Each structure stands twice: as C-alpha cells, then as structure tokens.
Structure 1
Amino acid sequence: MANITISGASTGLFNMTDEIRDIGNSKYLKVAMSDKPYYARLSTEKPSDNNMYVIIDNTKYFIQDNPILFEPIHSEHIYQIFEQRLTVWLPKGKYIVELNTTSTTTDTFTIPSGLNAMILYNYRRGLGVQLSIGSDGSRIFYKRIEASGDKTWFTISRQGD
C-alpha cells in the first residue's frame, strides 16, 4: 500500500490503495505516481489526528488514515429451508466470522490480496446451517453447525491487515 505524507501548517500520513474497490462507495482522492493511480478515502467525518481535507461540490471531505472501508456483512434467517448467495469484494486483510444457532462460533480467515468472493449461506434439514466463502473455485472458509433454536445468523467483519 502506498502512502502520502503532507507537511507544512498541518502534517499527516495517509495510506493509499491501488485498488479502487477497497474504498467501497466512498468519495476518494486520486493520486498518480509514475502513471499508476492510488486512492485515498475521503469522508465528512473528521479523524481525530489530522485536519487535511478537500472541498468537493461545496462539501468538506477529510482524508482518512486508512483507505480501506469494509462494512460488516450480516444476515439472519428463521429455520426453514433457505439458500442465500452474495457476491462481495473482500479487501486484503483478516476477517472474523460469527455463525450462530443457539450459541455463537467464531472463526477467522485472511485474504492476502483483494478478491471477488461468493458467500453461500444455507440451511437444509439433516445438514444443518452452512456458511461457505469461495473465489474462483477455491474455498476460503467453510463452517457447518447443527440447527437449533428458532433462527440463525452470521456476521463477517474485517479486522485490519
């Protein structure tokens, strides 16, 4: 990941990414270095440790220290036969997966570089609840637990690099 250091009246160090999908649907600042684009994530939320900002369409956007934005993925279902498929961009990093029926199991997995992933979440009588994450035919994560209680849910959260 590239970074930019700005000094003067205010000093700041900002990480940038060369993968625009890492910043989610956020506004961004594009910086070209040796003809390669890098992106810093912008937000109207002011970070506690810097004052660097740009104004776009009369709105002040602050440069965020970390360019990667990943909103946790959460889904829940009552017990009836279901299958849910999601295609998501997973930026590089470490992820925590919580899967629940009546008790919660917690597992982790790591993505060395960003990728498009397919999340498959389902319940079948006799097979229990299954959560599978894969990309290009490879399995990244798989967990199956017995069904109990009246509903099931999962949450996937990014924990950083």
Structure 2
Amino acid sequence: MTTMNAAQRRAQAKAEYNAFLAGCPSRQLLDRISDKWAVLILCALGGDSGPGRTGETSAQADGPRAMRYSELSRLLAGVSQKMLTQTLRSLERDGLLTRTVTPTVPVTVSYELTGLGLSLHHVMREVRGWAQTHMGEVLAHRESHEARTS
C-alpha cells in the first residue's frame, strides 16, 4: 500500500468526483446551488437584480457588490427570514460569499461574493436568463401537455 501526501489525496478525490453517485460531495454541492434562493442570492450579489431604468441589467451597470441582509430580503420577494438566513449561512460555509460585520450602532452586516462565488454567479446568471427568456415556451408546452393528458 502506497502512502499519499495531501496534494495527491486531493487530486485522487477530484478525479473520483462523480455526481451520479449518491455519496459524492459534488452532488451535495449541486443540491445547494440548484436551490432557487441560492441562485437568486448569487444573481443579486453579482449585481444582476433585473432591468435598470435604461433597459440594461444592474450587472452591466454596477457589477458585483456587497448587500445588507435587509436589501437582499426586500429584493427576494417571498423569501422568509429563516430561509434567507439558512441560505446565506450555507453559501458562506461553502466559500461562495463572505459575511462582514461592521461594529456600528446598530451593527451592519453585509454579504459579498468571493472569487469562487463570482465564478458561479456567471453560470447562474445565464441559467436565470435562459429561464426568463424561455418561460413563455415552457408554459405553452405545459398547457399542451395538460390538454393531451386530461
């Protein structure tokens, strides 16, 4: 039996990641980042919170930026305080965003994408854009399917 150093063990583990296997850590990560709230938080912190006044997206106008909890809560219509808190903690634990506490009165807490989070934001922005662009087609297919199966 050969001994491996830490770098060799990481390389072997990386080569063995297979999301189709139930116990694979990459599957757990896919679960995390495919959550709607995680996607929307990544888009929001990436500056991609919807059309601006001139029709360009906020991402084009401002780019990635830090946001306070209350800003995220207002932006993400329908998210509960519990779900927002849990999702932010999970994304921080996975290294996708940082939480910064500023000792003011009251205390200010802001969230910002890390480099890793920013690289994922670019992918999520495309997925969100695809969903927004093709939603009409999807709804038409759903309606057609329901008519055939009813």
TM-score (norm 1): 0.21
TM-score (norm 2): 0.22
Structure with the larger helix share: 2
Structure with the larger strand share: 1
